[in-house]
Structure formats: structure tokens, C-alpha cells
């Protein structure tokens, strides 16, 4: 599903340039539940942004769903994001003046789906994350956990190939964090590829595969034993 | 192309962000309102001056006689100068090329006029047919005095609109008889006059008829003429000073005698008024452009602010699959919609206020303050375009920002 070969990325910092990703190789297959771990500055967010087509890489090759990503203009990137990727952010990033249902339905608007159909699909996904009754509430009227559930519903609503979650529990307390992870696990069980970034060990432990990143290099890549337990 | 979904999205954004919408709408509406009001009041001032000086033809010259104040060629001062028919002939022949319309005049004031028991007193003027353009009189019904009337000394009159109103009420005076100092005349025409009420209470009769009726012989009161409109102001002034000199010589009046013969020339006045109106036009234009620029700057600022404020939202939309084009066109459509509606509101308010002010400002020399539709519509379009451009620049910039940068914007 996601294949990365010798990926490099630097950011210009004044006259110098900061080399963030130093030749990564990573292969994530369909249906995997992968976690990227690393302290801040390890390059994990940069990696997610490149994988999520929110940023471009300098060197190396990136295949998304078998398609080589190169010379991507914003328009193509937008279409690919809409088609293949669903995002869950640490800060939720819901649109404040839209209610839960409208937030979930927004990717479908950009997909060009009609209004009635949009609302129906969005309601199904809200139901799936257990927030059907909160459909008409604004984000400001929801708790952190509920907001993240709305965000997850929004990430899923276009039925993407991969869900990318950047510190999805970073702004939540531990019990809410756990329930959000449970939700992601469930989604994964239904066959969705889920790609999580975190710096918390216990969150990482709930995934199937942990890739550890330090100073722009992958230092370990191993399966967790959890699956065996389950 | 009408995209209902797009409009729904826009309506939602606008109605959920009322302050933002109100702010940009208000700027536009206020700019257009100010523009309309200032322009309208400026136009009102212009109308006032145009009306005040529209009473007579702008190129008219009136020659009046008086009493000599200086002895000349053995004649004593205090002598009354009397124009006669030979003066008419003399001027007409001598200055034929420079004269456009020409009419001698015999006037009688406070003449008792009766129609079927209703009566009033008016000024009766004996004139040539040319007097009509001289006075800028406009025939409403029938005709003015004709040369045939003049030749036949016909007992016909053209009466002012208000004379008809006074004596005939709602009925038409045309073809009816009118009794002027015991003598019956036929009404052949009714006229109006932009000069106002006083000018619409005159009664015109053929010069020959009036002269025969009110004067012993071939005396006349004054002479009115218009000079050839092709003459420049300086040429017109040269013409009237020559006319004055020649006439003074004919009547043996000292060239320096100001009282015996007066030639009133509107050329200088007309020049001043035209210059004044021109200056007024420049001022109005300046005010208008100034207001528009202020509006343009206002809306530009607000659009920059709005797009800045929405950077994060735009980043979210991009992450969810919004293309740069859809972002730009969404912002533009919003801004055009708001500015167009607000512009229309401002325009309507302005027009409404001007209508309401209407006559109440006449004592401040403002008459019929109004704005030509094309001017305000043009101004509104300018602001809409300005708002669009003002929105376009930051919108394209926002659309170009990497979504990740936009998402991190706080």
C-alpha cells in the first residue's frame, strides 16, 4: 500500500538546510496497523506529511497504492488525498462553524457527491463512531474524545485506502485515548490500513507494528506481540 | 454555471461568520452610500446653478434705455432716451451676422385680465416670434406668436402655464378668448418656462398689436437678442461693446455715460457659471474617486484579514481534498456575492435618502439631488471588482500554501 525507498527530506533554515529524513525505506502492506515512534525532532511528522501528500520529498521514491508519487501539483495531490487518504490530527482540525455531520460530510463535497447522499453517508459513519445523536452539535459543544471521533469519521467517510493519524491521542486523557485507539483498531480489523504517529509507548503498544525513528533514520521495525496474545 | 452545492457552502460560511460578513458588507455598503450621497448632493448643487441661470438663453443680450447723466454734443443731461422702431431696424441691419434671435419689446404691467368671471393682473409683453427662444419658453400647447400675427396685428396671445391655471382651472385655454383690459384676444398657445413662476405668468402678444394698443406711436421699451452661439466669449464681449458704442452714437449719448443706455450681456456671467460648474464637476469627481478609493482600500484590508483568519480552515479543506482552484473560487464567489449585495443595499439606501431629502435642501442651493444610475452601478461594479481582486491575491496565496503549513497556522 505504501512503499518508500531511500526517502530524503531537508528543510531550508536560513542559509543552512536541516536534513530531517536521511534515506528511509519502509513498506506497509494493505490492512496493516503501523505505528511510527520517535521523540520530537526525529522526523516522524515529516514522514507522515510526505506519506499524506501534505508535503513533498526531495529524494527517493514513494509509491502510494502502487502509484509512483512525483511531480505532483497541488491539484493532483488534492485529488489523491481525497481518494486514498483519511487524516486524523492531534488538534482534531474540525471546522468550527460546521456541525459534526457537516464536518464529516465535507470530504464527500470535494469528491463531488450530492448533498442528500453526503448526509446519509456521513450519518452512517457518525453512527459507526457512536455519535449519531451528536450530529447537529458544533465542535465547541463536543468533548475532546468526541471531537476526535468526529475526525475519525471524517477520515473514513470517503472510504480511503489509508488512515493517517498524527498523534491522535496527543490532546486526550488516557481513558479517552484508549477508547480512540480501540476505535482505530476496530477500523483496522475491517481491513483498513492505519498509520499512526505517536511518542507514547502504551499507545504504540496497541498497534501491530512499531517503526522507531531517531534523527531521521529507522532504528528498528518490529511486530508487537499483541496480535499473538489476541 | 449554477452550482447549488457551492452556493449552499457559501451561504453557510457567510451566515455562520456573521461578524466577518457584516464587516465586509458594511464597508462596501457604506462606501457606496457615501458615494451616492456625495455625488447626489454635488449634482444637486449643479442643478441649482443650472436652474438659476437657465431662465434665459445663455447667449442673450438685453438693451435698455434710461436717462442721460452727462451732457454731450450740446445736449443736456437728464434727457430720456427712447427706443423707436428705427432702432430695431438699425441694429438688425448693422449686426445681422452676429445676431441669432432678435425681438423688440413693449411691456405693460399689472394688466387686468379676465376669463369668465375669474380675473387677475399680469404683465403683457408685445414681442416678435424670436422672443420665445430668447426667454427659453417652451410651448406646451398650441403655438407661440407668429410672423403672420405680427403682420396682421392679430389679437392673439400666448399665455404662461400659470395664467392658464389661474383663469381656466383644469380646462384648456387653447382657442378660448381672454379679456385683457376690455379687449378680447384669442389664446393660441400655452407655454412653460424653466425660469420659474414669474416667467410663467407672462402674456405674450404680437409686438405690433401691443405697440398699437399701449403706445402713442413707434416707441418701444427694450430690445432683446441672442448673439450667434458660434461666437466665443471674447468675441461676444467685443460684439456687445461695439453695439453699445454704435447705439450711443446714434442717440448722441456720451460714450462714458453709463445710465442712458445699458447693454446687459450674459456672456461674462455665463462664462463664470460654466467655469463654476466645471470646478464643481471636478470637485464631485474628486470626492467620488476619493470615496471609491477609501472603499477599495477598506475592502482589500478586510479580504486580506479574512483570508488570513481562514488559513487553517483552508488547510483543513485542502487536506480533505479541496483543490487550489476550488479554494480560490470559493473565496472569490463569497467576496463577489457579499460586495454585490452590500453594494446594492448601499446604493438603494443612498438613492432613498436622496429622494427623502428632495426639496428640503433647496434653501442650501441643492436642487433635486440625484445620481445617474450608470454612475452608481459603475461605482458598485468598481468595488465588486476591487473586492474580487483584493480577495484573489490572498486567496491564491492561501491556496498555494502547503496544507501542512496552513494546518499549523494558529
User: Tell me, what's the ipTM?
Assistant: 0.87
- Chain A residues within 8 angstroms (CB to CB) of chain B: 49, 52, 54-55, 74-75, 78-79, 81-83, 87, 89, 91, 93-98, 102, 106-107, 109-111, 114-115, 154, 158
Quick one: B121 and B176 in the same domain? yes
| Alpha carbons B314 and B305: distance in angstroms, whole number | 14
Tell me, yes or no, whether A183 lies in a domain.
Answer: yes
The secondary structure of chain B in percent helix, strand, coil, rounded to multiples of 5, reads 55, 20, 25
Quick one: B279 and B180 in the same domain? no
The grid cell for B143 is 403655438
Residues A75, B407: C-beta atoms closer than 8 Å: no
Tell me, yes or no, whether A174 lies in a domain.
Answer: yes
For A16, counting Cβ atoms within 10 Å of its Cβ (0-12 exposed, 13-18 middle, 19+ buried), the class is exposed
E strand or H helix at A223: strand A217-223
| Alpha carbons A31 and B234: distance in angstroms, whole number | 97
| Alpha carbons B235 and B237: distance in angstroms, whole number | 5
Residue A230: its pLDDT value, please? 42
Quick one: B211 and B319 in the same domain? no
Residue B409: its pLDDT value, please? 66
Write the DSSP symbol of residue A43: S
What's the domain count of chain A? 1
Residue at which a domain ends, from B236, B265, B294 = B265
Quick one: B139 and B232 in the same domain? yes
**Residue B401 near chain A (CB below 8 Å):** no
At residue B216, φ and ψ (nearest 5 deg) are -70, -45
Inter-chain CB pairs, A–B, below 8 Å = 71
Quick one: B280 and B375 in the same domain? yes
Which stretches of B53-113 are DSSP H helices? Answer: 85-94
| Alpha carbons B395 and B154: distance in angstroms, whole number | 80
Residue at which a domain ends, from B244, B265, B286 = B265
Q: Please give the residue of chain B at the shortest CA–CA distance from A109.
A: B5
pLDDT in tens, A38-68: 888 788 888 888 898 888 888 899 999 888 9
The grid cell for B52 is 438659476
What's the domain count of chain B? 2
Taking only residues 57 to 96 of chain B, the set having a beta carbon closer than 8 angstroms to any beta carbon of chain A reads: none
CB B392 within 8 A of CB B308: no
Residue from the list B12, B312, B319 with its beta carbon closest to the beta carbon of A54: B319
Proportion of chain A above pLDDT 90, given as a percent: 38
Mean pLDDT value across chain A = 88
B66 three-state secondary structure? coil
| Alpha carbons A206 and A224: distance in angstroms, whole number | 8
**Residue B326 near chain A (CB below 8 Å):** yes
pLDDT tens for chain B, residues 1 to 410: 467 777 888 888 888 788 888 888 888 888 888 888 888 888 888 777 777 665 566 788 888 888 888 888 888 888 888 899 988 888 888 888 888 899 999 999 999 999 988 889 999 999 999 888 888 888 998 999 999 999 999 999 999 999 999 898 888 888 899 999 889 999 999 998 877 788 889 999 999 999 988 888 888 999 998 888 788 778 888 888 888 888 888 888 888 888 888 888 776 777 777 788 788 888 888 888 888 888 888 878 888 888 888 888 888 888 888 888 888 888 888 888 888 888 888 888 988 888 887 777 777 777 777 778 888 788 878 878 877 887 788 788 878 877 777 777 66
Q: Please give the residue of chain A at the shortest CA–CA distance from B407.
A: A93
| Alpha carbons A101 and A86: distance in angstroms, whole number | 16
The domain of A114 spans 30-56+73-229
Residue A228: its pLDDT value, please? 47
Helix axes B373-400, B267-309, angle to 10 degrees: 30
**CATH code of the domain in which A84 resides:** 3.40.50.300
Quick one: B257 and B121 in the same domain? yes
Amino acid at each position: 500500500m505504501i512503499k518508500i525507498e531511500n526517502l530524503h527530506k531537508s528543510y531550508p533554515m536560513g542559509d543552512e538546510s536541516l536534513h530531517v529524513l536521511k534515506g528511509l525505506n519502509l513498506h506497509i502492506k494493505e490492512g496493516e496497523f503501523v505505528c511510527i515512534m520517535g521523540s520530537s525532532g526525529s522526523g516522524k511528522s515529516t514522514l507522515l506529511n510526505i506519506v499524506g501528500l501534505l508535503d513533498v520529498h526531495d529524494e527517493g521514491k514513494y509509491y502510494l497504492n502502487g502509484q509512483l508519487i512525483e511531480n505532483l501539483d497541488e491539484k493532483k495531490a488534492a485529488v489523491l488525498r481525497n481518494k486514498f487518504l483519511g487524516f486524523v490530527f492531534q488538534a482534531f482540525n474540525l471546522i468550527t462553524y460546521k456541525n459534526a455531520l457537516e464536518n464529516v460530510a465535507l470530504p464527500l463535497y470535494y469528491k463531488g457527491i450530492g448533498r442528500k447522499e453526503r448526509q446519509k453517508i456521513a450519518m452512517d459513519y457518525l453512527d459507526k463512531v457512536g455519535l449519531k445523536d451528536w450530529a447537529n452539535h458544533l465542535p465547541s459543544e463536543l468533548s475532546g474524545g468526541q471531537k476526535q471521533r468526529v475526525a475519525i469519521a471524517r477520515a473514513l467517510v470517503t472510504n480511503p485506502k489509508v488512515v493517517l493519524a498524527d498523534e491522535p491521542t496527543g490532546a486526550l486523557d488516557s481513558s479517552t485515548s484508549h477508547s480512540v485507539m480501540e476505535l482505530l483498531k476496530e477500523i483496522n480489523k475491517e481491513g483498513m490500513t492505519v498509520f499512526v504517529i505517536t511518542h507514547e509507548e502504551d499507545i504504540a503498544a496497541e498497534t501491530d507494528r512499531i517503526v522507531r525513528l531517531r534523527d531521521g533514520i529507522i532504528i528498528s521495525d518490529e511486530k508487537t506481540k499483541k496480535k499473538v496474545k489476541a | 454555471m449554477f452550482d447549488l452545492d457551492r452556493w449552499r457552502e457559501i451561504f453557510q460560511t457567510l451566515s455562520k461568520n456573521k461578524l466577518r460578513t457584516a464587516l465586509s458588507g458594511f464597508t462596501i455598503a457604506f462606501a457606496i452610500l457615501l458615494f451616492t450621497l456625495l455625488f447626489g448632493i454635488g449634482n444637486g448643487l449643479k442643478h441649482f446653478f443650472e436652474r438659476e441661470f437657465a431662465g434665459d438663453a445663455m447667449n442673450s443680450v438685453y438693451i435698455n434705455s434710461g436717462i442721460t447723466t452727462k451732457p454731450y454734443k450740446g445736449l443736456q443731461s437728464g434727457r430720456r432716451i427712447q427706443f423707436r422702431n428705427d432702432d430695431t431696424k438699425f441694429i438688425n441691419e448693422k449686426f445681422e451676422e452676429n445676431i441669432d434671435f432678435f425681438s423688440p419689446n413693449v411691456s405693460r404691467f399689472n394688466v387686468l385680465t379676465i376669463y369668465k368671471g375669474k380675473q387677475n393682473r399680469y404683465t403683457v409683453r408685445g414681442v416678435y416670434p424670436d422672443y420665445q427662444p430668447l426667454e427659453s419658453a417652451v410651448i406646451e400647447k398650441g403655438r407661440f406668436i407668429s410672423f403672420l400675427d405680427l403682420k396682421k396685428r392679430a389679437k392673439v396671445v400666448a399665455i404662461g402655464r400659470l395664467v392658464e391655471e389661474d383663469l381656466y382651472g383644469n380646462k384648456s385655454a387653447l382657442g378660448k378668448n381672454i379679456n385683457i383690459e376690455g379687449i378680447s384676444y384669442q389664446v393660441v398657445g400655452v407655454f412653460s418656462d424653466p425660469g420659474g413662476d414669474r416667467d410663467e405668468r407672462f402674456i405674450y402678444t404680437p409686438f405690433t398689436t401691443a405697440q398699437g394698443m399701449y403706445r402713442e406711436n413707434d416707441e418701444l421699451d427694450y430690445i432683446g437678442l441672442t448673439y450667434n452661439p458660434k461666437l466665443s466669449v471674447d468675441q461676444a464681449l467685443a460684439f456687445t461693446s461695439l453695439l453699445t458704442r454704435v447705439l450711443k452714437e446714434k442717440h448722441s449719448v456720451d460714450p462714458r455715460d453709463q445710465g442712458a443706455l445699458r447693454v446687459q450681456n450674459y456672456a461674462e456671467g455665463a462664462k463664470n457659471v460654466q467655469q463654476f460648474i466645471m470646478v464643481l464637476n471636478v470637485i464631485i469627481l474628486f470626492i467620488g474617486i476619493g470615496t471609491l478609493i477609501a472603499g477599495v482600500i477598506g475592502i482589500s484590508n478586510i479580504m486580506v484579514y479574512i483570508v488570513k483568519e481562514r488559513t487553517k480552515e483552508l488547510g483543513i479543506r485542502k487536506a480533505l481534498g479541496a483543490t487550489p482552484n476550488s479554494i480560490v473560487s470559493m473565496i472569490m464567489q463569497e467576496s463577489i456575492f457579499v460586495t454585490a449585495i452590500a453594494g446594492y443595499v448601499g446604493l438603494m439606501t443612498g438613492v432613498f435618502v436622496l429622494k427623502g431629502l428632495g426639496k428640503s435642501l433647496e434653501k442650501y442651493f441643492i436642487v433635486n439631488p440625484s445620481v445617474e444610475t450608470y454612475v452608481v452601478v459603475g461605482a458598485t461594479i468598481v468595488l465588486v471588482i476591487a473586492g474580487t481582486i483584493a480577495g484573489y491575491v490572498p486567496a491564491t496565496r492561501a491556496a498555494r500554501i502547503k496544507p501542512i503549513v496552513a494546518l499549523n497556522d494558529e
